[in-house]
Amino acid sequence: KARYAKNYPGTNKWQLKDYYEKDILFPEGTLKFGAKKDTVFNFVMEEMAQRNTIAETMTFSELKNLISREKLKGSAAVSSYEIELHQRTSYPFAAYILTIIGVAVSSQKKRGGIGLNIAIGLGFVFIYIFAMKMTTVAAINVGFPSLLAVWIPNILFSIVAYVLYRFAQK
C-alpha cells in the first residue's frame, strides 16, 4: 500500500512513495516500510480505474475477453461479469415468456373488468424480477453457476406460461 503511486505511461512500471509492503508467511509475516520504490505490476493504468458498471457498456466479445482476463487474475468479479453476459440472451426470452403469460391472463373475461387481470399480470412480472434477483445474488455470493442463475427464472416461468396458455379461454 502506498500513499502515492505514479505510472510510467505505456508501461507496467510504477513508482511508489511512502509505502509499506506486507509479506505474509505462516505463522508470522513481516512489514516493510519505505520512502520510495520502483516496481512493476502486472496490470495497466486503465484497469485501476475500472468500474463495475463498465461491463454493461461492452460488446459481447469485449465482455468475453474481460471475463477471460479476470479469470486469469482470479478476480472475485467474474461471476457478476458472467451474469451480465448471460442476461443479454435470457432477457429477450423473458420478454416473450412474460408476453405469453400476459396474453393468457388477459384472455380470461371477468365481470368486474380488466383491472384484476392487469394486477395478476403485474404480479407475475414482480415475481419474475424477484426470482431473477434472488438467483443472481445466489450466483454472486454463494457460488451458484451464473448460467443456471440467469436461466432458472425463465425455465420456471415458461412452464407457468405453458400451463396458463394451455388452459386460457380461446
Break the chain into its structural domains and give their ranges: 2-48, 52-166
pLDDT tens string 3-33: 888 888 878 888 889 888 887 775 677 778 8
CA-to-CA distance for 68 and 25, rounded, in angstroms?
A: 30
pLDDT tens string 44-78: 666 666 555 588 888 899 899 989 988 888 888 88
Answer whether 0.85 is exceeded by the pTM. no
Q: What is the mean pLDDT of the chain?
A: 86
* Most confident among 18-32, 101-115, 147-161 (mean pLDDT): 147-161
Assigned C-alpha cell, 35: 520512502
Distances from the Cα of 149 to the Cα of 60, 71, 122, angstroms = 19, 19, 22
